[in-house]
Amino acid sequence: MTGLDLKDKRILVTGGAGFLGRQVIAQLERAGANPDKITVPRSSEYDLCVMENCQRAAAHQDIIIHLAAHVGGIGLNREKPAELFYDNLMMGAQLIHAAYQAGVEKFVCVGTICAYPKFTPVPFKEDDIWNGYPEETNAPYGVAKKALLVQLQAYRQQYGFNGVYLLPVNLYGPEDNFNPNSSHVIPALIHKVYEAQKQGQKELQVWGDGSPTREFLYSTDAARGIVMATELYNESEPVNLGTNYEISIRDLVELICELMEFDGEIVWEADKPNGQPRRCLDTERAKKAFGFTAQTEFKQGLKNTIDWYRQHAQ
């Protein structure tokens, strides 16, 4: 496949200083992008909820990869649904418009698996994305991000603007957010087990009943997929990025406990929310459209993440 040559392109990566963003920049450089032409707007200088900042960020860029998001786990989604809706919608909608105004050649928008309906047939196919309302706890975030897909399709139709939309499944890996107030399930569990071991606890309390299933994509694989789409994918249809490997939360907790050698009792807090019942992606479109398949085996990815956390935990 011959695609976009990144060598001389000026590339803006929003969220480029974050967990996924650092990996995307590394993969862009591996794909031949010039490090001196990659710009990472910092949120302290560029609040993307303000249109003028989006216009400033988009000026003189050839490619924009929009990773920046206000995001967290079930707890944050329940506590701050309005902020999650507003921030994600405004950042994305204004940046897409500013990119169109500035004549940006390509816009790569990274969406969210939370956009899928609560009861989507498994594995999730991209064509099912409009067949129902998202799971309630993360719907405001999911709907805000899904609106950006509509915007990109509309701008392609009316203006010929080349915007593509990717749907990565839950990410994990070294450098993830391990803050228990806002982290996703894998880093939250690793942190929880680590703290229990440190304090000599013999019980581990976990939200829900362990029945939901999830799929997880290692951050390096996700970044590689995003860069491959940047080079090779130019269509309006959204594309899943995942592994097509499904694991229950119960099995995940047991695996993390095994890898971290925690032998205490797991206590399921069944009165707490489970979130979406099942998540597993159909990954055929990414494979056919730009040759992407995940490479990191799940257990190995978990080991890498645990090792990194142990080295960096305070």
Question: Is position 66 annotated in a ligand binding site?
Answer: no
Question: Is position 145 annotated in a ligand binding site?
Answer: yes
Question: Is position 16 annotated in a ligand binding site?
Answer: yes
Which H helix or E strand runs over 39?
strand 38-39
Question: Is position 77 annotated in a ligand binding site?
Answer: no
- Of 226, 289, 262, nearest to 1 by C-alpha is 289
State how far the Cα of 129 lies from the Cα of 105, in Å rounded to an integer: 27
State how far the Cα of 37 lies from the Cα of 40, in Å rounded to an integer: 10
Residues paired with residue 217 on neighbouring β-strands, in sequence order: 171
State how far the Cα of 236 lies from the Cα of 278, in Å rounded to an integer: 26
Q: What is the DSSP letter of 40?
A: -
Question: Is position 275 annotated in a ligand binding site?
Answer: no
Which H helix or E strand runs over 110?
strand 106-110
Question: Is position 15 annotated in a ligand binding site?
Answer: yes
State how far the Cα of 110 lies from the Cα of 145, in Å rounded to an integer: 9
Which H helix or E strand runs over 204?
strand 203-207
Question: Is position 20 annotated in a ligand binding site?
Answer: yes
Question: Is position 267 annotated in a ligand binding site?
Answer: no
Q: Which of 141, 165, 172, 233 is catalytic?
A: 141
Question: Is position 88 annotated in a ligand binding site?
Answer: no
State how far the Cα of 152 lies from the Cα of 161, in Å rounded to an integer: 8
8 A C-beta contact, residue 253 and residue 196? no
Return all residues near 297 (Cβ < 8 A) that are at least 6 apart: none
Question: Is position 291 annotated in a ligand binding site?
Answer: no
Question: Is position 164 annotated in a ligand binding site?
Answer: no
The CA-CA-CA angle for residues 167, 148, 91, to 5°, reads 105
Count CB atoms within 10 A of the CB of residue 144.
26
Clarify whether 141 is annotated catalytic: yes
Question: Is position 97 annotated in a ligand binding site?
Answer: no
Give the dihedral sign, CA 265/271/273/278.
positive
8 A C-beta contact, residue 229 and residue 108? yes
**Residues annotated in a binding site:** 15-21, 145, 168-171, 184, 192, 207, 214
**Residues annotated in a binding site for substrate:** 192, 207, 214
Active site residues: 141
**Residues annotated in a binding site for NADP(+):** 15-21, 145, 168-171, 184
